[in-house]
């Protein structure tokens, strides 16, 4: 049973249900998605949004009769926790959240289960929802800040520590954590005090640029336009793009979340949200790598590697959906093939994507060369040679010296394995003409030339 395929089918039905505002069916479909692919945070987000809509955003969930079931669910979760049965804790938490999606403890239970299963994006989402429900809860804020730091999201963590310091000015530990947080942006870009929910950006007390006269600040003008017409999606998108261009990715992400809600879950808006999400994740990966490189600590290195893997998985999900939605976009197919090859090592799955991408003139050379690499991994060396030769014919050293050298070196190695020494010698020579120190090309060339001379 292909769970990802089943989840994809449920996802489509769920989106259709959202478009028709059939929130009961949407909850059912996205709930199935979360069961089939529990580490996919987008499915959880869509599930929760559908649950909110099902209860008209009443912040309390179902009525008293339905809530009577929560006592039994909490008991099950407690027993599962004692056994460290985190899959059962996850299942119980989601059952409870279907009754009251704003329940703080159930969101915490879900976050703990996700952390134990190393679904860190899901843990982040669940803990953020718990904190949003009780923004003045110091313990929840601390848990969220620590999780964000562990994920390398130092600027977001610093804003939480700052908020804790405002909640408790005498908390020296939080003040110390704030001062030691790793971040590259200004700490105070809008109050966490007023940001009770990531879904209520319009109510946020964002002050930046508000005092500017009309025409002096694009940010202030767009905020004014949003207040004037809060149902116009275009203004949210423009402000999100403004934040994105300024590198203020957290604010861009929040604005796009609101745009998505206002637009009725428009697919194009969701894609823009995904793009910013990937930028944020990539930035966090780079920050984590920098920290790991500077500290040399094994735990920090493992954390950076885990974030990189998480980013790659999320990008793979996004690209798979984009390729399904835009089957004629050869650039997307090439990007997906690259990701399948590295870091996932799924060379066989990359082959048909690269074959299609080779029809794009700009991608032709690279697609053929990567096809050669795929066939090498698949131990089809003769096929690899044919593809690499087709790619080499499309590459000029002056235009792309790096690709030229990589391709000729790969071709030389393939020809050497196929015992075609003259062809290998020629390709090694092409490499050395452009880069005399490239890998072991010179040593290999000298070795095979010596072998040819010895046989003569």
- Are residue 354 and residue 391 in the same domain, yes or no? yes
Q: Is residue 397 part of a domain?
A: yes
Q: Is residue 115 part of a domain?
A: no
- Are residue 341 and residue 450 in the same domain, yes or no? yes
- Are residue 320 and residue 351 in the same domain, yes or no? no
DSSP letter, residue 180: H
CB neighbour list of residue 28: distance below 8 Å, 6 or more residues apart: none
The answer to whether 415 and 428 have CB atoms below 8 angstroms apart is no
The answer to whether 226 and 210 have CB atoms below 8 angstroms apart is no
- Are residue 358 and residue 271 in the same domain, yes or no? no
Q: 368-371: long-range contacts (C-beta < 8 A, 24 or more apart)? A: 368/394, 369/395, 369/403, 369/406, 369/407, 369/410, 370/337, 370/338, 370/341
What's CA 233's distance to the chain center, in Å?
Answer: 24
Can you tell me whether residue 126 is helix, strand or coil?
helix
For the ranges 45-54, 158-167, 327-336, 403-412, the lowest mean pLDDT is seen at: 158-167
**In this structure, what CATH number is given to the domain that contains residue 233?**
1.25.40.10
Select from 302, 325, 348 the last residue of a domain.
Answer: 325
Q: pTM here?
A: 0.71
Select from 270, 298, 325 the last residue of a domain.
Answer: 325
Domains in the chain: how many in total?
A: 2
Q: 194 vs 370, which has greater pLDDT?
A: 370
Tens-place pLDDT, residues 56-104: 999 999 988 888 999 999 999 999 999 999 999 999 999 999 999 999 9
Q: Is residue 350 part of a domain?
A: yes
- Are residue 306 and residue 345 in the same domain, yes or no? no
Q: Is residue 294 part of a domain?
A: yes
CA–CA dist 453, 456 (Å, integer): 5
CA–CA dist 49, 41 (Å, integer): 12
- Are residue 366 and residue 313 in the same domain, yes or no? no
Can you tell me whether residue 68 is helix, strand or coil?
coil
What are the C-alpha distances in Å from 87 to residues 6, 40, 314?
A: 19, 14, 21
- Are residue 282 and residue 376 in the same domain, yes or no? no
Residue 213's pLDDT is what? Answer: 60
Domain of 302 in residue numbering reads as 215-325
pLDDT class for 297, splitting at 50, 70, 90?
confident
């Amino acid at each position: 049973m292909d769970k990802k395929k089943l989840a994809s089918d449920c996802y489509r039905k769920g989106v259709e249900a959202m478009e028709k505002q059939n929130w009961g069916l949407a909850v059912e479909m996205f709930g199935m998605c979360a069961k089939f692919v529990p580490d996919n945070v987008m499915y959880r987000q869509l599930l929760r949004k559908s649950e909110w809509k099902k209860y008209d955003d009443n912040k309390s969930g179902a009525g008293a009769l339905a809530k009577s079931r929560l006592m039994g669910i909490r008991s099950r979760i407690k027993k599962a926790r004692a056994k460290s049965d985190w899959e059962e804790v996850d299942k119980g938490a989601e059952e409870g959240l279907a009754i009251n999606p704003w329940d703080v403890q159930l969101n915490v239970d879900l976050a703990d289960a996700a952390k134990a299963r190393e679904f860190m994006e899901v843990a982040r989402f669940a803990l953020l929802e718990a904190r949003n429900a009780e923004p003045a809860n110091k313990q929840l804020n601390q848990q969220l800040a620590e999780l964000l730091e562990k994920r390398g999201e130092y600027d977001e963590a610093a804003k939480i520590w700052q908020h804790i310091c405002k909640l408790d000015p005498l908390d020296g530990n939080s003040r110390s954590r704030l001062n030691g947080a790793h971040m590259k942006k200004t700490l105070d870009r809008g109050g966490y005090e007023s940001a009770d929910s990531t879904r209520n950006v319009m109510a946020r007390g964002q002050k930046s640029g508000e005092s500017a006269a009309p025409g002096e600040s694009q940010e202030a003008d767009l905020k004014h336009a949003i207040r004037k017409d809060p149902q116009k999606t275009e203004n949210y998108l423009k402000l999100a793009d403004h934040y994105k261009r300024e590198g203020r990715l957290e604010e861009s992400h929040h604005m796009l979340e609101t745009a998505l809600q206002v637009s009725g879950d428009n697919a194009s808006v969701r894609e823009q949200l995904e793009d910013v999400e990937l930028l944020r994740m990539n930035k966090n990966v780079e920050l984590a790598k920098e920290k790991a490189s500077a500290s040399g600590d094994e735990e920090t290195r493992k954390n950076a590697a885990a974030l990189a893997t998480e980013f790659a998985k999320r990008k793979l999900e996004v690209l798979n959906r984009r390729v399904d939605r835009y089957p004629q976009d050869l650039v997307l197919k090439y990007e997906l093939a690259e990701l399948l090859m590295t870091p996932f090592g799924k060379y066989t799955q990359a082959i048909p994507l690269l074959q299609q991408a080779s029809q794009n003139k700009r991608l032709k050379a690279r697609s053929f060369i990567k096809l050669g690499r795929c066939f090498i991994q698949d131990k089809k060396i003769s096929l690899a040679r044919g593809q690499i030769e087709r790619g080499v014919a499309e590459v000029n050293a002056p235009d792309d010296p790096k690709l030229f050298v990589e391709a000729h070196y790969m071709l030389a190695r393939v020809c050497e394995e196929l015992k075609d020494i003259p062809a290998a010698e020629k390709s090694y020579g092409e490499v050395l003409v452009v880069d005399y120190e490239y890998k072991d090309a010179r040593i290999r060339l000298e070795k095979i030339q010596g072998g040819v001379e010895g046989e003569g």
